[in-house]
Chain A
Amino acid sequence: MNTNNNWELAEAYLAGKLSLQELVELKSRRETDEVFASEFNDNLNLISSLQSNGSQKRFRAMLSDIHKETAATKTRRAIQLPAHFWRTSAVAATVALMTSFISYSIMNSSKKSDANYTTISNTVRAIAVDQNKLKKIVQDSVINKKSPIVPTSDVRRTGTGFALTNDGYFVTAYHVINDGNGEGDSVYIQSNDGIYYKAFVVNYSAESDLAILKVERKNFQFAKNEVPYTLAARKAALGAQIYTVGYPTEDIVYSEGYISARNGYRGNSKQYTMELPAGHGQSGSPVIDAKGNVLGILTAISTPKESNTYAVSTDELLDLIEKMPAGNKMHLPKSNKLSRLSREEQISKMENYTFSVKVYKK
C-alpha cells in the first residue's frame, strides 16, 4: 500500500475535498480493510491534532501581541538621591570602575572541544579604567538617579547580548554564561552608557548554544521605545548581506559580511556559516540583514583561519522562547522599525539594545 496516498487521502478528507464517489469508496474500504482503516484513523487523528495545535499556537501568539499593544505604559518611579550623597555615590562609582575591564584571550568551549571551532567569548585578565566612562557613570548616578550596581569579584568571561523585549529579556550565547566550570557565576550586562545591571538566566539550550536572561532590576527598560527589530522566523537565503554589532572591546564594533553557507559547522542545520569578521567577546551578537531582521546569534569562528563565522539561526531562538518556563510572559515586538532606515541609522538604534555581557565568579 502506498503510504503517501494514505496521507493525501486523509488530508483531502479533512479539508472536505473528496467527491461523493470518493467518499463512498473510502467508506467501504474502511469497513472492509482493517489494516487500512486503523492506519487511516491514526493519520486523521495526527493531522487534525497538528492542525489544531498549530492554530492554537498562532492564536496564543496573537493574544500576547494584542496584550502587548493594549497594556498601558507603566510609569517608572525614580528615587531621588539626596544632595549630600552625591559625593559618596561618586566614590562608589569610582570603585565600580576599578572593576571595569578590557579583555582579550581565547576561550575554547569545553563542550565543543574541537581545535577548528572556537566559541568567541572573552576570558578577561587585564583591568583598565576608562576615565570617560567613569565620568559618565558618576553623572548618570547623579542626574538620572540610576545607582550603579557594582560587580564585586573577578570577571571570568565577556560576550555580547541583545534585547528581546524592552522590559529586560535578552539573549546571548550559552557558552558566555557557562563554560562548564562556572556554575553559579553571576551575570551582569553593561549598557553602552557604562551602567551595570545584574541579570538572571530564564531559559537556555546548551545544544543550540543559546541563553535567555532577564535583567533583575524592577521596571527596567533598555530604552524608551520597544525593541525596533524583529526575529526572522525563516532561514535567510544564501548570499544575504548581513552585519553585526558587538563588544570585542569596551566599545561597540561594527562588521559586515554575507551568508556563505545555508548550514553551519559540519552541516549543522540550526546554524549559518558566514563570511563575517568577528572576534572574541562578540559571542551573542545579533546577525542582522539589510532590512533590520535579526537572522541569528553569533556563536563561533573556525580556527586557525578565522574566516568562517557561525551563528545560530533565530528559528532556534524562537523555539527556546516558545518553551519558556511558566510565569515568563515575553511579548516580542511584531513590527520592524529598522526596515526603511539607512545602515547608519539602524546601527545607532541597535546600540541602545546591544550591550556587553560580563560573567563574574560568585
Chain B
Amino acid sequence: MYSATNNDQQLLRALAKGERVATEQIYKQQFPIINSWLIKNGGSADDAADLFQEAMVVLFSKVQNEDFALTCAIGTYLFSISKHLWYKRLQQQQKGPGRLYDNTEDDGAEVGIAYEEDINVHHEREAHFNQLDTALDQIGEPCRSLLKAYYHKDKSMQEIAADFGYTNPENAKTQKYKCLTRLRKLFYSVQAK
C-alpha cells in the first residue's frame, strides 16, 4: 500500500491548520489537472473550481482528525474525490445516463481510497453545519452577530467587546455564554425536527 511521502505529510499538517502557503501550493499543483479532466468530461471551468474546492474541504476536514493517515498521494486523493463528486452531481442532474458511475471499474478502489465513505461523512457534516447555521440565523440579534464574529470570523473577545459596545471583554463573554445557551436550545430543537 502506498503511504504519503514526508513532503506530503508536511503539506497536510500545514493544510490542517489552514495555512495559506500550503493550501496555495496544493491548489496550484492539483487544480489544473482536475480542471482539464473535467472539461474533457463535459464540465465547465466553474464546475471545476466548485468541485475542486469541495474536494479540498473534504481533505481539510479529514486531516483535522489527528490519527488520520492518507494512503495515497495528495493529488490522487483530490482527483478521486473530485471525480466522484462530479459523477454524483451528474447522477443528480440526470444529465448523462451513459456515464453513471460504477464502483467496480474505479481506479480509486485500486489505490485503496475510501472515497465513498469520505464523501458521505462530508455530506453528513455539511448537513449538520447547515442545521447549525439555521439555528444561528433564528437566534436574533445581537447573539447572531456576536457568535458569528467569534466563531466564524475568529475575532477575539476584546475586538468583539469594542465592536458591540460592551464595556469590557468579560461582559462580552457573559453575553456570549447567554447566547450559547439560547443557541443550544434552538439547535437541539432544529435537530429534532
Contact = CB atoms under 8 A, between A and B. Distances in A.
Interface stretch (B1-9, B49-57, B69-77, B104-112): B49-57
Interface in B111-168: 128-129, 132-133, 141-142, 145, 147, 149, 151-155, 159, 163, 165
A8 B163 CA distance: 22
A130 interface: no
B27 interface: yes
B94 interface: no
A250 to B, nearest CB: 36
Interface stretch (B79-87, B95-103, B181-189): B181-189
A70 B31 contact: yes
Contacts of A47: 180
Contacts of A315: 145
Interface string A268-279: 011000000000
A59 interface: yes
B50 to A, nearest CB: 6
B181 A3 contact: yes
B180 A63 contact: no
A130 B49 CA distance: 44
Chain B: interface secondary structure?
Answer: helix
B154 to A, nearest CB: 6
A71 B28 CA distance: 10
A234 interface: yes
B18 interface: yes
Contacts, number: 91
Contacts of B31: 67, 70
Interface stretch (A26-34, A49-57, A174-182, A294-302): A49-57
B28 A70 contact: yes
Contacts of B23: 59, 62-63, 66
Interface in A302-317: 315
Given A4-B174, A269-B142, A53 B27 contact: no
Contact of B165 (A43, A71, A233, A262): A262
A70 to B, nearest CB: 6
Nearest to B179: A7
Interface string A18-61: 00000000000000000000000011001101111111111110
A58 B163 contact: no
Contacts of A53: 129, 132-133, 151-152
A57 B53 CA distance: 12
Nearest to B48: A67
Contacts of B24: 66, 70
B183 to A, nearest CB: 7
A64 interface: yes
A219 to B, nearest CB: 12
Interface residues of A, number: 36
A222 B133 CA distance: 33
A329 interface: yes
B132 A49 contact: yes
Contact of B60 (A49, A56, A327): A56
B47 to A, nearest CB: 9
A44 to B, nearest CB: 11
B37 interface: no
B13 to A, nearest CB: 15
Given A58-B154, A60-B57, A70-B31, A50 B132 contact: yes
A7 B181 contact: yes
A63 B53 contact: yes
Nearest to B164: A235
B53 A64 contact: yes
Candidate in A51, A64, A67 with the most chain B CB atoms within 10 angstroms? A67
Given A54-B154, A64-B53, A233-B153, A46 B60 contact: no
Nearest to B47: A327
B64 interface: yes
A63 B60 CA distance: 11
B193 interface: no
A54 B147 CA distance: 10
Nearest to A52: B64
A4 B177 contact: yes
A194 B27 CA distance: 40
Contacts of A60: 53, 57
A289 to B, nearest CB: 15
Nearest to B53: A63
Contacts of B49: 67, 71, 329
B27 A49 contact: no
Interface of A: 3-4, 7-8, 42-43, 46-47, 49-60, 62-64, 66-67, 70-71, 233-235, 262, 269-270, 315, 327, 329
18 contacts: A3-B177, A3-B181, A7-B181, A8-B177, A46-B187, A49-B128, A49-B129, A50-B147, A52-B61, A53-B133, A56-B129, A58-B153, A66-B20, A67-B27, A67-B53, A234-B159, A262-B165, A269-B142
Given A7-B181, A67-B53, A329-B50, 11 more contacts: A3-B177, A7-B180, A52-B61, A55-B18, A59-B57, A59-B60, A60-B53, A66-B27, A67-B31, A71-B49, A233-B153
